[in-house]
Amino acid sequence: MTDDDSQAFPSQQQDPPGLTREMDPLPDHGEDSYEGSGRLEGRKALITGGDSGIGRAVAIAYAREGADVAFTYLAEEQADADETSALLEQAGRTHAAIEADLRDRETCDRVVGETVERLGGLDILVNNAGYQMAREESLEEITDETMDRVFKTNLYALFWLTRAAVPHMPRGSAIINNTSIQAFDPSSTLLDYAATKAAINNATVNLAGQLGEKGIRVNAVAPGPIWTPLQPATQPASKVEQFGKDTPLGRAGQPAEVAPAFVFLASERDSSYVSGTVLGVTGGKPVF
């Protein structure tokens, strides 16, 4: 990181879900920096929302660590999905890009089935896809449509995907949920989003208890403010300018700074006795 990393972002806004190429500056997903060491050699991973942001950074890291990777994306995110696919191709791993709106149980079942078919199995499930809308300032402004999208994308899909995936996952598999600092330090403008993230923390611990006897570890990563398309697509432009400045480190994080936590939790070599935990990557904000 350089001194310039602590500066405010230029004012900008996109329509949801947002695209990487329209961001200023472009996020760092580890394209030029992440180097693997074989920690996930031979593993097969499904990453939801893997076209951009944290999901793309995790996909790059997993592929360079030796994993085959399937990821989901929305139709509006085709450009980002194509870029991620190209990066996985360069890593020399089998990969599958699956267009899917995860707000539907049958779609979640299809995604898991297609992943198993195209990769030949499933060892790692990363429930990363998420949605927020921080332009509402009060409860009265949260529409039923927005609330339905937030809860189904963030929470329902996690349960549907996990339920469909577990029968395919052998002992030694890992499930990693993407939660948020919002579960611990919620913003009033993210009321519904923060509630789903607190629920994900609880679900993570409970799933770890349920699936331990199957030899499946369940953990979560709680990012702080990370520079992804979700920010200019769902935050007012005025807030984007100061994004991440309220952390102890004084800046927002990059997706590439979060991906190693997902690698650690997926690796049997590094975290074989870690389950039921929430690992914060927050720039110094507490996760307790």
User: Which active-site residues does the annotation give?
Assistant: 193
Question: Radius of gyration (Cα) for the chain, nearest Å?
Answer: 17
- Residues 248, 275, 196, 11, CA torsion sign: positive
* Residue 178 near residue 241, CB atoms below 8 Å: no
* Residue 287 near residue 278, CB atoms below 8 Å: yes
Across the beta sheet with 68-73, the strand order is: 95-99, 68-73, 44-47, 124-127, 174-178, 217-223, 278-281
For residues 140 and 142, what is the distance between their CA atoms, to the nearest angstrom? 6
* Residue 265 near residue 218, CB atoms below 8 Å: no
